[in-house]
Amino acid sequence: MEVRVFPGVHGPIAHLVERAHGMRKVASSILAGSTLKYKKMDKKQQLLTRGVEKIVDFDNLKKALNSRKKLRVKLGVDPTGDKIHIGRAIQLWKLRLFQELGHRVVFIIGDFTALVGDPSDKPEGRSGMTKTEIKKNMKAYLKQIGKIIDVKKAEIRYNSEWFSKMKLDDFLSLANNFSVQQLIQRRNFKERWDAQKPITLKEITYPLLQGYDSVMVKADVEIGGYDQLFNLNTGRDVQRLFNQKPQDIMTFKMLDGLDGRKMSTSWGNVVNITDKPNDMFGKLMSMKDDMINSYFELCTQLSLEEIKELQKNNKNPRDLKAILAKEIISLYHDKKEAEKAEKEFEKVFKDKETPTDIREFFCPKDGYSILEILPHLDLAKSKAEAKRLIQQKGVKVDNQVVDNIHFEVKVKEGLIIQVGKRHFAKLIKKS
């Protein structure tokens, strides 16, 4: 249990209530060929247990779910990128379940807080984003979240609505209820303090801003990743200041990215829900074996009984990854596309054949240096990266490994250049 006391606020603050998931009743699941028969657990039980790390206040939330009250369920997202990855989608699927149970989803796009930058679970400070970057990233957000939740039934808000109008004295009045010592107790701030790394005043204010969002939308529940727990608890404190009943909190297990760290747009170790099926399949097949279980639980809609049965009947991790990849692709595309992606993967990686669909590039010259052409084909970000890839023997021209950084590519119709196992380009010669 964690108790934080803020001056000027009465009563217990930020009590964490940790609840064990409890024993789940396991029923037998029937597999008919390769078609899974879905067996859903009770929606309320699924809401409170599956993928959940902590709930504050568990008893109150359970009581509210069993009542006829229509809860206002808040999720805030800063548009730090223009794509939503499957780790962030975990929260969206939980919102969808709240919607199915008749509750009101309040989705806040942090177009103002993105200017500050959420320091949650980051070892270094974040500089925030520019208004131009934020505007660009927001364009595709609603279309993407519409793949999961019913946007028409949701309340979509932008926190610039209130922060752009907030007066400095109002903010200072809010900030006066919190001390630097209390805010700096969050784990990553404390680690940076001990390491004598800088902590800016701007990033310290982020939890207060997120908490004020909860006041403005009168949130009954706020959900988020476990790395958001400090911010979410601060929201309860800010609500008390404004004589609102503190929101219940639901946090989820963190999904590892493809490199083993937390999945994060900032780190690029992501599978985006807008990725093409072939790219999704290839990325998911590259994950470490010990990540399979968490991906099944957090990123698919298969029941826990079905997952257990799959693991029982498929001992080869590669087979499980293929099933997992098809399930995830089916959620954001369809089953037909998932099947096609598997066949394409088998063709390229098992049978060592050339992919069916390869990007074509028109080349106006008859020849290029290998260091020049790789960035031109989007197969390397720069000549420096191209040099590194060649030295690592990761580049092929017409299926022959190139190990000379001075290699000259003679352009001919249909020439295939490959980088790594998954990236190809086909040249089109100037007529």
Structural domains present in the chain? 31-252 (3.40.50.620), 277-350 (1.10.240.10), 360-429 (3.10.290.10)
Q: Tens digit of pLDDT for each residue in 375-428?
A: 878 888 888 888 888 888 888 887 788 888 888 888 877 778 888 777 887 777
Looking at residue 384, its pLDDT comes to: 87
Question: Which pLDDT band holds residue 237 (cuts at 50, 70, 90)?
Answer: very high
Enter the pTM of the model: 0.72
Return the CA Rg of the chain: 25
- Nearest residue to 220 (alpha-carbon basis) of 54, 98, 74: 74
Mean pLDDT estimate for the chain: 81
Q: Identify the three-state secondary structure at position 374.
A: helix
User: Out of 189-198, 255-264, 299-308, 358-367, which region has the weakest mean confidence (pLDDT)?
Assistant: 358-367
Q: Rounded distance, CA 113 to CA 129, Å? A: 9
Looking at residue 354, its pLDDT comes to: 58
What is the average per-residue pLDDT within 137-155?
Answer: 89
pLDDT at residue 11 tops 60: no
Specify burial of residue 316 (Cβ count, 10 A radius: 0-12, 13-18, 19+). Answer: exposed
Question: Which pLDDT band holds residue 233 (cuts at 50, 70, 90)?
Answer: very high
pLDDT at residue 37 tops 80: no
Residues 11, 240 contacting (CB under 8 angstroms): yes
| Range ranked top by mean pLDDT from 230-239, 282-291, 352-361, 413-422 | 230-239
